[in-house]
Amino acid sequence: MYKAFISVLRKELLLALRQKTDVVTVLFFFLIVSSLFPFAVGPELNTLKIIGPGVIWVGALLCSLLALHRVFETDFNDGSLEHLVLSGEPLTVLVIAKISAHWLITGLPVVIVAPFIGLQFGLSAASLSLLLGTLLLGTPVLSLVGSIGAALTLGVRGGTALTSILILPFYVPVLIFGAGAVVADLQGLSIDGHLSILTAMLCLSVALAPLAIASAIKIALE
């Protein structure tokens, strides 16, 4: 299983490196969306601090959405996905490898760049560290939950738009508690509840999402 996981992960990362434009586009989109808000809102520092975490989280959410169609669609169209199902390896392990690649390509760059974007909103070092932590907990949830939608819409015309409609309601709690933790910290409130809920979301997503995705893929291939 370990070799199968590494093999699929390596393949996905190599394909992403060959299509650097797609990866750069997602990151550039995040930078543009997040950077334009300070110009629109104005230089009021207190206002920027309050909206900053939410803006960065919305940018991370949109970046995850932009790349969801690549998780399974290409393999579905060229028949590779059927070979993965028939390979004899646990499909959930292969699914986790593909989702891990999606997060490494879209989520991790956002996590790395987010603290630099946070400086534009006047966030302190402590707030930036907390923002980094919430993104590390929350962005994998976005990839896992989003991949469920991507699997459910395989082979459906207009699947990209339908995926967004299906999963956006499930993204909202991650957005609320991810951005809310930083805002609560800025207001001197406890953040333990926010972080606990984000951690619980991550654990549930890791445990249940691969099973749901594997079932959706098998249904799409029937």
Residue 221: count of CB within 10 angstroms of its CB? 15
> What is the pLDDT averaged over residues 119-137?
91
The pLDDT value recorded for residue 88 is 76
Q: Which residues of 133-165 are buried (b: 16+ CB within 10 A; e: fewer)?
A: bbbebbbbbbbbbbbbbbbbbbeeeebeeebbe
Residues 75, 77, 82, CA angle at the centre, nearest 5°? 55
> Would you say 160 and 71 are in contact if contact means Cβ atoms under 8 Å apart?
no
pTM of the model: 0.89
The pLDDT value recorded for residue 78 is 75
Position 104, amino acid: L
> What is the pLDDT averaged over residues 61-66?
86
> Percentage of residues in the chain with pLDDT exceeding 70?
98
Residue, of 76 and 201, whose pLDDT is higher: 201
Gap between the Cα atoms of 22 and 173, Å rounded: 28
> Residue 158 pLDDT more than 70?
no
